[in-house]
Chains A and B, each alone.
Chain A
Amino acid sequence: MKPISLRTVTTEAKLLLIGIPVLVWTLLPVYNLFLFSISPKESAFAGNLWPDHPTLHNFAVVFGEKHYYLSHFWLQLWNSLLIAVTVGVLTLIVATCAAFAISRLKVKGGRAVMNLALFTYFIPAAFLAVPMYKTMGNYGLLNNQWALILAMLTIAAPYSIWVLKQASDKLPYELDEAAKMDGASPLQLFRLVYLPLMTPSLVAIGTYALLLAWNEYLYAFLLLSNDRQITLGVALGNFLAADDSPWELLMATGLIYALPPAAIYYVFKRYMVGGLTAGAVKS
């Protein structure tokens, strides 16, 4: 048996002294969300740390669309999913093509486009929201889900192109030379050499764009207003319209809305954290 010295105990105690507040700080809002979603309406406001009678009733109400605020729950969940997946796919297509053209084909003007993309990436999206809203109005796209899809594509594409270009620059150029020597066309190089080698980055970028679109609030609530077209995120914000909102139902819906992206984040954590960190640390 190893003797535990006083020194070890103090070190561990000090670490716990940091760890416990960090845990409480991190979990408090999430726990509150969870707590209210399993509390019956009457005891939701009792202020207990655990409800006397935990229930799944709130989820039954949400799934059954049995409340005025929830009358289009399934449709709005579907809207969120449809928009997020479309943005993910479109961003992947646009960004992969652009990164390939800039990094591998060394297209003229590619560097300028890359700089413009970076510029767009760093302008805060909230500043572009009002002009984007007016623009979509001019294009006649307001209240059309394509408005949100295209706006999110615009926001997601610059970072995606940059990440894919960084990853793509790391592939050895001998591959391209060899393919050229064998008489491959640019498209064959793209399909047979480039795409297979880039798969991990493509997964990361697809997930990034998908989560960005699913989590978006500002653009979604500006560009869509009809109850049958809004995303679930906007529907959550709409609960705030009245003071007597059913908070326990809002929390239950919020939990349902939060679970898929959180699950995706943890599943793809290796890609996400790696990619994001590499991007920021490199400089």
Chain B
Amino acid sequence: MSTVAIPRVEPVLPAGPKKRLSPWQAWGLILLTPYILVLLVFVFYPVGYGLLLARHPESYVRLVDDPIFSRSVVNTLIFLVIGINLKMIVALLLSGFFIQARTWIKWLSLVFILPWAVPSIPTILSVRFMLNPEWGVINHLIFKLTGEDGPNWLNDPTIALSMAILMHIWKSLPFWTLILIAGRLAIPGELYEAASVDGASRWQKFRFITWPSMQTLYLTSSILSMIWTLGDFNSVYLLTGGGPADLTHVLATLGIRYLRLDQVDLSMAAIVCALPLVLPLVYFMMKRLSR
């Protein structure tokens, strides 16, 4: 009986209080207001103010004239291309390793998340200390094993940037490995069993089962990782401080460098220059997630 009654009640409601907001809509607006305020006061205003500071064309002329800027752009591209590909390929391989059913691998996977679980400040400082040419563990080991002095790691721009990339990979590898493990576990096991029956090799199983099921996830992960890598301030700033001689800055740390030099307009201009790279990636991710 009651199931019949429901549809009859429904059409009556919208006809009544049409002029005023329904209490559901009104409460919806009230509950949404705190976040809208956060958006207006701490997103729209700063972004608008930042763009206002970056409006002078001469800022960009000075920016392009600054050799540190072009160096930072190159560093950022190297950081992105090497960092992301190396990280994602290793994560893809390791995800295959961690889905092996062994007790010790289960325990290892718990230890493996440690870099992601621990805050980055102390671990990056620890690595900075390990790489110290005089007191660091690494050069001690090199001296013990070969009798020669190790390299002056963070005083060489190429090595220093490589170390910052490795630092970034150390920190974020566990996260992406976990994501890809979840992707691998979602592939039905029967596919592999059927392939085994047909006598497929391990490479063929990867090539024709694993990769086709994972490639969308792999691409999405790479793009999200690209956005996060662009914004990785700590791995560079805490490890090299942008040095030696400001040669290892990336776009994420360059803004802070200009702020320190009291050149806020350059700082904002540098960020505006990065937008053509960032916005398409952001748009791509938004499209994927807002479905």
* A residues apposed to B, CB below 8 Å: 15, 18-19, 22-23, 25-30, 32-33, 36, 44-45, 47, 93-95, 97-98, 100-102, 105-110, 113-120, 122-135, 138, 150-151, 153-154, 157, 161-162, 181, 185-187, 190, 214-215, 217-218, 222, 233, 236-237, 239-240, 247, 250-251, 253-255, 257-258, 261-262, 265-266, 269, 273, 276-277, 279-281, 283
The answer to whether B122 touches A257 (Cβ under 8 A) is yes
Chain B nearest CB from A114 CB (Å) reads 7
- Majority SS at the chain B contact face: helix
Inter-chain CB contacts under 8 Å: number: 280
B67 touches A (CB below 8 Å): no
Q: Which residue of A lies closest to B287 (CB)?
A: A283
The answer to whether B137 touches A132 (Cβ under 8 A) is no
> Which one, B192-200, B204-212, B221-229, is touching chain A?
B221-229
Chain B nearest CB from A254 CB (Å) reads 3
B64 touches A (CB below 8 Å): no
The answer to whether B286 touches A119 (Cβ under 8 A) is yes
Q: Which residue of B lies closest to A215 (CB)?
A: B119
B71 touches A (CB below 8 Å): no
Residues of chain A with a CB closer than 8 A to B121's CB: 215, 217, 233, 236-237, 254, 257
Chain B nearest CB from A248 CB (Å) reads 10
Residues of chain B with a CB closer than 8 A to A187's CB: 27
The answer to whether A127 touches B252 (Cβ under 8 A) is yes
Partner of A281, one of B140, B217, B259: B217
The answer to whether A131 touches B35 (Cβ under 8 A) is no
The answer to whether A115 touches B278 (Cβ under 8 A) is no
Number of B interface residues, CB 8 Å? 98
Residues of chain A with a CB closer than 8 A to B221's CB: 280
The answer to whether A106 touches B35 (Cβ under 8 A) is no
Chain B nearest CB from A265 CB (Å) reads 4
The answer to whether B25 touches A280 (Cβ under 8 A) is no
Q: Give bound CA distance, A115 to B45, whole Å.
A: 18
**What are 20 A-B interface contacts by the 8 Å CB criterion?**
A15-B100, A18-B94, A23-B111, A98-B35, A101-B27, A107-B32, A108-B28, A114-B290, A120-B43, A126-B232, A129-B255, A135-B46, A157-B35, A218-B256, A237-B121, A239-B125, A254-B122, A276-B178, A280-B224, A281-B186
Partner of B129, one of A251, A257, A273: A251
Q: Which residue of B lies closest to A48 (CB)?
A: B140
The answer to whether B35 touches A117 (Cβ under 8 A) is yes
B80 touches A (CB below 8 Å): no
Q: Give bound CA distance, A119 to B279, whole Å.
A: 9
